[in-house]
Amino acid sequence: MSDRYAVFGNPIGHSKSPRIHAAFAAQTGEAVVYEAIEAPADDFAGAWRAFVAAGGRGANVTVPFKQDAFALAEVHTPRAHLAGAVNTLWLDADGRVRGDTTDGVGLVRDLQAHAAPLAGARVLLLGAGGASRGVIQPLLEAGVDTLRVANRTPAKAQALAALFAGSGRVDGCGFEALEGDFDLVINATSASLAGELPPLPETLFASEALAYDMMYGAEPTVFLRWAEARGARTLDGLGMLLEQAAESFWLWRQVRPETAALRERLRAEL
């Protein structure tokens, strides 16, 4: 008898999560079936309850339901509490709904897999939305020296930075106030979806800097093309997707799948 897991979103037809978790199950020998569920935009909780009633054990949660999942969870991990969002749900031995966020761990592990500068690095995080909030604490815990959040609305960047001020050297500013150079620049804005670029200064990258876009596709995003033209190494978010899924699988099954070979297969399929 296989245990049921799923990914909830709206829309969800594009999700690679069923492909990824099927590969994890085959690799590890875990008895897992995994499906994609498009929940009604106004009733994520009802969709979750129906899934659990039908035998569901846990789920990933994507746009636009991460805040709904946070509200639904009865127990939050410390990193989910800081992020204010949940992308992984599961039932514990007492039947309580537990919530965690694996996005930040996924980002850090992908960066580490590509020998990215983290320990002692000067990091710039573009955007002050939920994608940024979920990765700040893991980046600080990875040992970065400073982390600056930049956003079109300076007050949003400053407010987000203030939430994590007790965890490391983090500040916020508007794009127009950016100065200096950085070892790692992470694009967590949605600009890449529209083929747009945030208003960034030309002198953004230190020597041997890495530019990372959380978006991914068959072709480099406009941000990555812009960064490469200015001498930066580049990396997109496909590996982050894979590594956050591996962390979710571990939370559910206490088994950690290997990701390197699957990363190459997913890249070839784009």
The residues annotated with a catalytic role in the active site are 66
Question: Within 10 Å of residue 176's Cβ, how many Cβ atoms?
Answer: 10
Dist. CA 61–CA 70, nearest whole Å = 10
**240: annotated binding-site residue?**
no
**85: annotated binding-site residue?**
no
**17: annotated binding-site residue?**
yes
Dist. CA 57–CA 5, nearest whole Å = 6
**171: annotated binding-site residue?**
no
**246: annotated binding-site residue?**
no
Pairing of strands 205-213, 233-236: parallel
**2: annotated binding-site residue?**
no
Contact status, residue 142 vs residue 119, Cβ threshold 8 Å: yes
Residue 145 is encoded by which pair of tokens? 């020296």
**259: annotated binding-site residue?**
no
- If you write DSSP's letter for every residue of 229-269 in order, what string do you get? HTT-EEEETHHHHHHHHHHHHHHHHS-----HHHHHHHHHH
**227: annotated binding-site residue?**
no
**94: annotated binding-site residue?**
no
- Residues comprising the binding site for NADP(+)? 127-131, 151-156, 214, 237
- Residues comprising the binding site for shikimate? 15-17, 62, 87, 103, 216, 244
